[in-house]
Chain A
Amino acid sequence: MTHPSDATLALYAGQDLGFLARWRTERHLAACDRCRQEVETYSDLRADLPELMDFPDTGWGRLAAEMKANIRLGLAAGECVGSLQPEEPRRVPLFSTRALVACASIIALLSAGVLLERPIPQPKAGEGITLEATANGIQLKGGGQSLSLLHGGASPNANAVTFSVSAQGSMRARYVDSDTGYVTINNVYAQ
């Protein structure tokens, strides 16, 4: 059984998961005591969180004051270098050119990542490999890949192609090439 990650369980406890992830996590929790216990722990922790947020004033207060001072100093230094006109914060529209370029770049990056890094399942020889006749040839498929030998030279006559099967794990398609008049026998082996 594959367990959800700690992050997923924590998000579930806070009701922050999306619909699909929540549904999958609920299904898992229904059958897994260990993860259910983890979720309860996260829920308890959430309940205690407001108390934990009450940090002692001394340390944080000093730190905040230090930061404010540094910011003030930075602003003052800026004024010395050149007059600064305070600007109203600009509202960046969601679909500005920059946002679109950024989104497109992220999507391109993700797509390239999926294309390049997707693991290729490599089945063992003979396992899960099926051989069958299709409308235009013999197809060997397995592990998300396929190899087909096509009878492109056969006449469109329904009886033009004769298939035969060997229990050894191979299939033949035989036809008379309509251009050359020669018999062509395609054989695909699954062994």
Chain B
Amino acid sequence: MRSSVWFRLAILPVAGMAGLLAQEMPLDPQSSFNINLPSDAPVALRSANLGESRATARGSAMVVDLHMALSLQNTSNKRIAGITLLVTAQEFVPGGRGSVATPSLSVAPGATFPVRIDLRLLRPAQMTGGPLVNVTLDGVLFQDLSFYGPNRLDSRRSLTAWEIEAQRDRQHFKSVLAATGAPGLRQEVLTSLAMQAERPRLDVAVSRGGRSVTSAGQERVERFAFLQFPDSPVAPVEGWAQIAGNEARAPRIEVRNRSTQPVKYVEIGWVVKDRSGKQFMAGSVPASDPDLYLPPGRTGRVLQDTALRFSRNGGQPVYVQAMTGFVSQVEFANGTVWVPNRRDLTNAQLLQVLAPSPEEQRLTELYRKKGLDALVAELNRF
């Protein structure tokens, strides 16, 4: 008798909480997001569609699914090669922010182009006031490599590097087309698609400021082996990272500027080898100092206080046996950017490990969907 009373009493809060769990509501565009483009920006917002966006209450938290389809117009008199939008969420985890970039564009003055932002927020339900998400312009790169924007995310360097890689890879495919005709281009594209499919993939979790998880095994210092590219303006000298099981942290790499120009940014590509000898692209180690200035002939350090945890196939740990580094990007003090050429990447057998450039990915996808004629027509546009 007594237990049945308690059972009935227990039903009430459960029923109450179930009611709270099931609340779902569409999002009001006015209170959901705010797009702020400066009045002198080279792009203007033509339309913004929220589509299937919605907010769902889950207990004391709110899940916000925001799907924004923006249409932007090039209001400048130059062709746009790329754009980066900065996405910030109201009162979110300090330091957390995102960006959506669209490189490899060729948008003529007056033309419109789409940018899609799909975002999910999990946040306490009681947060109110102001839009959930703010979208601002971080930068626009034009085809002459001039730049507009506040550049808070170093979009100028990223967009410039992607554009130089795009020019490099378009030129590569054009050369293949010129030398071997359409059959040769087809073969080259099929080889690229096969490498993309077979490229070993690694799941990497990042946490800042020390070890991310309790890793098996004792921590040891592992030295980097370096690949040297003949035309690289910066040479890696020595480097090491702390390794414990499937976790690597605090990479530190010494580099020397062997060019005749001062350098303000260096990025090192980081390849790890597991116990079976398989190689994976683990990530990149960028220079941490925003005020880096490396005069010709001088040596500097690239270091980060971050922990990376490696796994694959749904969480199976990848234990790091050895590490290889190579210079993947250099920015000079005058704003020009260097990236490795395809010959060096091929010689170092890095193409099997590295992801393709955004442009190579776009061109091969174009071939996959629309065929060789569409690819040739696209190459001839540039």
Q: Which residues of A contact B (CB under 8 A)?
A: 94-95, 103-104, 107-108, 111, 114-116, 118, 120, 122-133, 137-138, 140-153, 159, 162-171, 174, 176-177, 179-191
Contact = CB atoms under 8 A, between A and B. Distances in A.
B359 to A, nearest CB: 7
Nearest to B8: A95
Nearest to A117: B126
Interface stretch (B199-207, B214-222, B342-350): B199-207
A116 B89 CA distance: 20
Given A130-B206, A162-B361, A176-B365, A142 B96 contact: yes
B196 A147 contact: no
B118 A130 contact: no
B283 interface: yes
B59 to A, nearest CB: 8
B228 interface: no
Nearest to A146: B122
B118 A149 contact: yes
Most chain B CB within 10 A, of A140, A167, A179, is at: A167
Contacts of A170: 206
B120 interface: yes
B60 A118 contact: yes
Contacts of B121: 145-148
Contacts, number: 215
Interface residues of B, number: 77
21 contacts: A108-B16, A114-B60, A132-B204, A140-B98, A145-B92, A145-B122, A146-B93, A146-B122, A147-B89, A150-B120, A153-B118, A159-B196, A165-B206, A165-B282, A179-B116, A182-B105, A184-B102, A185-B101, A188-B96, A188-B98, A189-B98
B67 interface: yes
B13 interface: yes
Nearest to B103: A183
B120 A129 contact: no
Closest 9 CB pairs of A and B: A165-B283, A125-B95, A152-B118, A150-B118, A167-B304, A132-B205, A125-B94, A148-B120, A176-B365
A187 B203 CA distance: 16
A105 B131 CA distance: 32
Nearest to B302: A167
B120 A137 contact: yes
B273 interface: no
Contact of B206 (A107, A127, A128, A190): A190
B362 A180 contact: no
Nearest to B204: A165
B99 A147 contact: no
Nearest to A155: B365
A191 B193 CA distance: 34
Interface in B275-305: 281-286, 288, 304
Interface of B: 5, 8-9, 12-13, 16-17, 20, 60-61, 67, 87, 89, 92-105, 113-127, 153, 162, 196-197, 199, 201, 203-209, 212, 251, 270, 281-286, 288, 304, 306, 308, 355-356, 358-359, 361-362, 365-366, 369
A151 B118 contact: yes
Given A111-B17, A187-B99, A149 B284 contact: no
A185 B288 CA distance: 22
B98 A181 contact: no
Nearest to A176: B365
A168 B284 CA distance: 8
B16 A168 contact: no
A171 B174 CA distance: 31
Contacts of A169: 206, 208, 304, 306
Contact of B124 (A127, A144, A167, A177): A144
Contacts of B103: 183, 185
A127 B93 CA distance: 10
Given A145-B121, A182-B104, A188-B96, 9 more contacts: A104-B16, A131-B207, A140-B98, A146-B120, A152-B118, A153-B116, A167-B206, A167-B284, A167-B285
A73 to B, nearest CB: 40
A144 B67 contact: no
A126 B209 contact: yes
Given A130-B206, A149-B98, A186-B98, A167 B362 contact: no
Contact of A187 (B13, B98, B124): B98
Contacts of A94: 5, 8
Contact of A129 (B5, B93, B199, B308): B93
